[in-house]
A = this chain, B = another copy of it.
Amino acid sequence: MYRHVKDLQFEARPAHPDAHFAMKIQELVGGQFGEMSVMMQYLFQGWNCRIPGKYKDMILDIGTEEIGHVEMLSTMIARLLEGAPSEVTADAAAANPALAAILGGMNPQHSIISGGGALPTNSQGIPWNAGYIVASGNLLTDFRSNVHAEAQSRLQTSRIYNMTDDPGVKAMLKFNLARDTFHQQQWLRGIEQLVADGLADVIEDSHAEEEDADQARTYWTLHEGSAGPQGSWAQGRTPVTDQEVLVHGDTPESTDDGTPPPPDPSLYATYDGSLGTPETGQPSATQSVMSKVKKALD
């Protein structure tokens, strides 16, 4: 269950309104790596976490913090939009090219849809969607996702920081940059903790004996004159399995030319008969199902 606390985690007070910047900073609300993404990603990871105690609580501490980050940014956007020239008409703009430029660069939905408030969308007006997030149940894998999300978020925040001179906006972004830095470290150290607690092997070792050992140490070059093998990644021994890295040219492992089977005629795939007559009627899998069902019921 959740509770609200009335004050923002950090103040969100721009020195001046700036409707263009309001449009840009929407990327940090509803973009692929905006605060809605990390909020929903960590909440779902926390709810799905099957280890009561420090892991589940840490994930939910950070996820709960991120709800408040969406709140901070939403407040900032409403304030950046104060007095935005949204209902300026063509005649007014005609007399004022600078005003026309501001209007042209505004997000029209900041007026038409939200009435001067934040939108749950990115800087191009695309609604946030849950296809951005990851919650797999495996913490090692998910902490890697979290590292990447914080890294992308910090990179985008760094770029946006360079797009404003407003001291109030910069003050809040300094806070956000710092939280991105701290959280990035949290997830990196979370990975170390998983290793220390013996909880990393479950996926690192999954099917370790079954995977194709040679392919797990082979660099394939697929360019004429590729400089790729000059990197350290294609030299020495693999970190996990401690095997010599191989460099492989572009000859395939197989002699399979990938032709699909002859088609079912009632699906009208174009076919010239060159692969023989397709099997139709009941598929062999079904036939074997049925014979087993019958046997089981005899």
Contact = CB atoms under 8 A, between A and B. Distances in A.
Contacts of A290: 96, 98-99
Interface string A117-134: 110111111111111111
B47 A74 contact: yes
10 contacts: A2-B68, A30-B130, A47-B70, A47-B78, A56-B259, A58-B227, A82-B283, A116-B269, A138-B269, A141-B151
Question: What 3 A-B pairs are tightest by C-beta distance, nearest first?
Answer: A104-B105, A115-B137, A124-B125
A98 B178 contact: no
Nearest to A26: B108
A77 to B, nearest CB: 9
B137 A270 contact: yes
A136 B113 contact: yes
A58 B156 CA distance: 25
B50 A271 contact: yes
Contacts of A111: 159, 163, 267
Interface residues of A, number: 220
Contact of A151 (B48, B51, B144, B279): B144
- Oligomer: number of copies: 6
A166 B272 CA distance: 29
Contacts of A40: 36, 120
B78 A286 contact: no
Contact of A137 (B79, B89, B269): B269
A271 B51 contact: yes
Contacts of A234: 58
Interface string A255-284: 111111111111111111011001111111
Contacts of A145: 148, 151-152
A83 B252 CA distance: 29
Contacts of A140: 151, 270
Nearest to A32: B131
Given A154-B203, A267-B137, A283-B83, A1 B5 contact: yes
Contacts of A215: 175, 178-179, 182
Interface in A43-68: 43-44, 47-58, 60-61, 64-65, 67-68
